[in-house]
Amino acid sequence: MARIPKELVDQIIQTADIVEVVGDFVQLKRKGQNMWAPCPFHNEKSPSFSVNPAKSLYKCFGCGKAGGVVQFVMDVEGTSYVEALKYLAKKYAITIEEEEKTPQQQLEQNERDSQFIVSDWAKNHFHRLLLNSEEGMSIGYGYLKERGLNLATIQQFELGYSLDSWDDLLKAAETAGYDKKYLEKTGLTVIKTDDQGQDTGRRYDRFRGRVMFPIHNISGRVVGFGARTLKRDDKMAKYLNSPESEIYHKSDVLYGLFQARQAIRTQEVCYLVEGYLDVLSLYQGGIKNVVASSGTSLTEGQIRLIKRYSDNVTVLYDGDAAGIKASLRGTTCSSKAA
Ligand SMILES: [Zn+2]
């Protein structure tokens, strides 16, 4: 594991403003000397989670979680100490000089970080293919352009394209030195089984010939993908999503929330739409406080996520109206015809 010099650790901790860092995850409100919010670690209605800005500490009087700014990032992101420091360094534009590591050394940091790393690499691979390969340009980019998306939006949401091939990603991962087991763990590849369901030892790319929509968690790391085929084949699902993994829990992720969260907080309302392209079109049109519940019907976990930023949700699709109303109980919810 990489070592970060002590002076740099001190600099990161001194620079990081705990109110800002925590404020990226919950809506803090001042009451007396402390700031308060519903706890991000347990489910509750009245806030028992407090931040003391003067001492740079947080404490929840409900579940007992407490600590400083690095501990908060470790708790909320489920990462290691070093990863939490890196997260803060990135947020405050502090450069961490690390010795160059091979992809294999990076992968050894730990299983979870490895899955983040391979997902990020795959995202870059798909993005390159969209903008730099003949197939990606003509099919993927062509489709997105036809849907009115411009290059800035495509880059901001890091959209991509997977080649219509059984092993393009597999081969590229091998060349880049990544361990294939993380491709399996994140669902980027599929294990080929025989008639009895036994592993044949063969693997193939899950996403083939599809426009790729990377799904980010709340701190901007890619945890999975939504993927749309452009083939006219009734037997093929139009949309395919990454399966659940150690880093991707569908019920706790909303598409677009990473990009939308500041706007949701400042505008004090979150628009909920049906699909990836709805999010992208509205965002490009200047309505930035918009998210979609990708590949699932709306869950309690997703509502809790939105409520970190605003109590107001406006639903912009019909969907299963009753189901949505039930999930949104306790939230100021209105519906508008899309
Ligand atoms: Zn708590």
Residue 233 CA to residue 164 CA, distance in Å, equals 14
Q: What are phi and psi of 262, to 5 degrees?
A: -65, -45
Contact 200, 192 (CB under 8 A): yes
Q: Are 254 and 305 spatial neighbours (Cβ–Cβ below 8 Å)?
A: yes
The overall pTM is greater than 0.75:
no
Distance in Å, CA 81 to ligand 1 centroid: 20
CA of 71 to the centre of ligand 1 (A): 14
Report how far apart, in Å, the C-alpha atoms of 187 and of each of 134, 170, 211 are: 26, 12, 16
Q: Dihedral of CA 165/169/174/180: which sign?
A: negative
Angle at 69 between CA 290 and CA 26, to 5 degrees: 30
Q: How far is the CA of 28 from the centre of ligand 1 (A)?
A: 14
* Ligand 1: centre distance to CA 40 (Å): 7
Which part of the chain is CATH 3.90.580.10? 6-91
Q: Which residues surround ligand 1, an ion (CB under 5 A)?
A: 39, 41-42, 60, 62-63
CATH topology for 6-91? DNA Primase; Chain A (3.90.580)
Beta strands in the chain (DSSP E): 29-31, 34-37, 49-52, 57-60, 66-67, 160-162, 189-193, 199-205, 210-216, 222-229, 239-241, 270-273, 290-292, 312-315, 332-335
Ligand 1 centre from 74 Cα, in Å? 15
DSSP label at residue 315: E
Report d(CA 50, CA 43) in Å as an integer: 15
Contacts of 196 (CB under 8 A, 6+ apart): none
**What residues does CATH 3.40.1360.10 cover in the chain?**
259-335
- Every domain of the chain with CATH number 3.90.980.10 lies at 104-248
| Ligand 1: centre distance to CA 119 (Å) | 30
Residue 264 to residue 266: CA distance in whole angstroms:
6
Q: Checking DSSP bridges between strand 49-52 and strand 34-37, what pairing results, if any? A: antiparallel
Please give the DSSP secondary-structure letter assigned to residue 190: E
In order along its 338 residues, the chain shows pLDDT tens digits of: 457 888 889 989 988 999 999 998 888 999 998 999 999 888 788 899 999 988 999 999 999 999 999 999 988 877 788 889 999 998 888 888 766 666 766 655 678 888 999 999 999 999 999 999 999 999 999 999 999 999 999 999 999 999 999 999 999 999 999 999 999 999 999 999 999 999 998 999 999 999 999 999 877 889 999 999 998 887 888 999 999 998 998 888 999 998 998 788 778 899 999 889 999 999 999 999 999 987 667 787 788 788 878 888 888 876 555 555 655 655 555 555 44
In angstroms, what is the span from residue 61 Cα to ligand 1's centroid?
7
Q: What angle do CA 225, 327, 278 make, to 5 degrees?
A: 40
Q: Which fold would CATH assign to domain 104-248?
A: DNA primase DNAg catalytic core, N-terminal domain (3.90.980)
The CATH number fitting domain 259-335, selected from 2.60.40.10, 3.40.50.12240, 3.90.1150.10, 3.40.1360.10:
3.40.1360.10
